[in-house]
């Protein structure tokens, strides 16, 4: 899954955008490539993702 971690003012139809304050945003913030991140879904369950790559957005 590729996404942009930014405020809505940077949102684009080309890439999914998540707020840094969203559950996913807070879960991945500060993580490094190769690390796992967990975050809570709206239904209360936990989801986990692995950081495969992180690159600055050059929109």
3-state secondary structure 20-54: CCCHHHHHHCCCCCCCEEEEECCCCCEEEEECCCC
Whether 10 is in a domain gets the answer yes
For the range 47-54, what are the long-range contacts, defined as Cβ-Cβ under 8 Å and sequence gap of 24 or more? 49/1, 49/24
Q: How high is the pLDDT of residue 7? A: 82
| Residue 12, strand partner residues | 15
| 58 in a structural domain | no
pLDDT tens for each residue of 3-59: 888 887 777 778 888 999 999 999 999 999 999 999 999 999 999 999 999 988 776
User: What residue numbers bound the domain in which 17 lies?
Assistant: 3-50
Residue 37 has φ and ψ, to the nearest 5°, of: -130, 140
Question: What does the pLDDT read at residue 36?
Answer: 97
Q: For residue 55, is it within any domain? A: no
Comparing C-alpha atoms, which of 39, 35, 34, 33 is closest to residue 20? 39
Q: Looking at the domain assignment, is residue 24 inside a domain?
A: yes
User: Global pTM?
Assistant: 0.77
57 part of a folded domain: no
**Predicted pLDDT of residue 43:** 95
Domain count, the chain: 1
Whether 36 maps to a domain, the answer reads yes
In-domain check, residue 59? no
């Amino acid at each position: 899954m590729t996404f942009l971690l930014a405020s809505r003012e940077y949102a684009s139809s080309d890439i999914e955008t998540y707020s840094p304050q969203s559950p996913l945003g807070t879960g991945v913030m500060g993580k490094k490539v190769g690390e796992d991140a967990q975050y809570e879904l709206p239904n209360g369950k936990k989801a986990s993702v692995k950081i495969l790559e992180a690159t600055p957005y050059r929109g």
